[in-house]
Amino acid sequence: MLIPFFVWGCQDTAPKDLPILGERDVVNGDTVYHAIPDFAFIDQDSQLVTNETFAGKAYVADFFFVHCPTICPKTSAQMLRIYEHFQNDDRLMLVAHTVDPKRDTVAALKKYSDGLGVSSSKWRFLTGEKDSLYEIADDYFSIAMEDSEAPGGFDHSGRLILVDKNRHIRSFCNGTDPADVDRFIKDIENLLNEEK
Amino acid sequence: MKKNNLFLTALFVLTAGLALLSCDKNQFTQGKILYTNFCERCHMEDGTGLRGIIPPLAGADFLETHKTELPCIIRYGIKGDIVVNGKTYQTEMPGEPKLTEFEITNIINYINTSWGNDLELARHTDVRAILKACEAARKEQ
């Protein structure tokens, strides 16, 4: 039986454990939480990136494309803030997936990553099969679908997703809203402290 | 007479107050709105751009050195390498062909007077002439 579960508030109070977001399944009396499935993509250095790349680490995921004329530059600017905030903290990585793999080749992603001046071991830019990218996007965003404010309740563009070392989604934010990203950065800090 | 003086004083205070209020704000209201709608998502609210990907407008020497090209860049976009403050940027900028001469003038003047920029104001007549010239040049191509 699937019990739709949605907990996310604007709590900005004392550090406490972040909820595990997404649908829950109860199997033989045990609660099974939504987890990011296996994936395999290629990064800006042509390296294979799988779940193993993030073993023991938390990461922030987003979706973008280099030729994006709308919100991506703002989202990248906020990802850059997160990158700089946690630059010297090896417990966190960043992962940007392209949704335009046809144009966003390894070389294009390398150019973008170099343009931002970021380390490719800390912030991976991923490309791969279009279907696989869209499927994993659906998975990351499955927790964000019940957004009553979004037109049609399904606008997840510009979302940043926080995943813990157990592949569970623990928080998300609107990557175009600096104030929401402030809150998200606190969530990341709380998660890292919780995982000590 | 007394009533008249009172009226004049009130008028003076009101005018001075309004003048003070407007000192603080950028006077190119339309330019600001258009900037927000057409430019901000890449060049950002504070004109800083995005690192090595999207060039800044705040403190950009390009605004001065390429002054006469700005109207056409806004309307038709720009491709290829451009150098801003000594740094090369390669991202293509799409144009906004529907913007009018007046709107383009207001955008330039908003940019020229924002985020510490203190550049000479663009005049509508000049912007119109520049746009006519580059439109003609584009047709010849």
pLDDT digits (tens, 9 = 90+) for B7-59: 777 777 666 665 555 555 678 999 999 999 999 999 999 999 999 999 999 99
Residue in B51, B90, B91 closest to A80 by CB: B51
Residue A3 has pLDDT above 60, yes or no: no
CA distance A40 to A33: 22
Ramachandran assignment for B80, one of left (phi > 0), alpha (psi -120 to 50 degrees), beta (any other)? left
HSE (CB half, 13 Å, CA atoms) of A170?
Answer: 24
Global confidence as pTM: 0.80
Residue A104, classed as helix, strand or coil, is coil
In what order do the strands lie in the sheet containing A24-27?
A: A2-3, A24-27, A30-33
The answer to whether the beta carbons of residues B69 and B47 sit under 8 Å apart is: no
Record: contact A73-B53, CB cut-off 8 A? yes
- Please give the domain boundaries of chain A with CATH numbers for all domains: 36-194 (3.40.30.10)
**Residue pLDDT, tens place only, A164-195:** 999 999 999 999 999 999 999 999 999 999 86
Q: Does the domain at residues B27-140 carry the CATH identifier 1.10.760.10? A: yes
Substitution target from A75, A80, A112 for chain B, most B beta carbons within 10 A: A112
Domain boundaries in chain B? 27-140
Whether residues B50 and A116 touch (CB distance < 8 A) is answered with yes
Query: Do A73 and B51 make contact, defined as CB atoms within 8 angstroms?
Result: no
Q: How many CB atoms lie within 10 A of CB A180?
A: 16
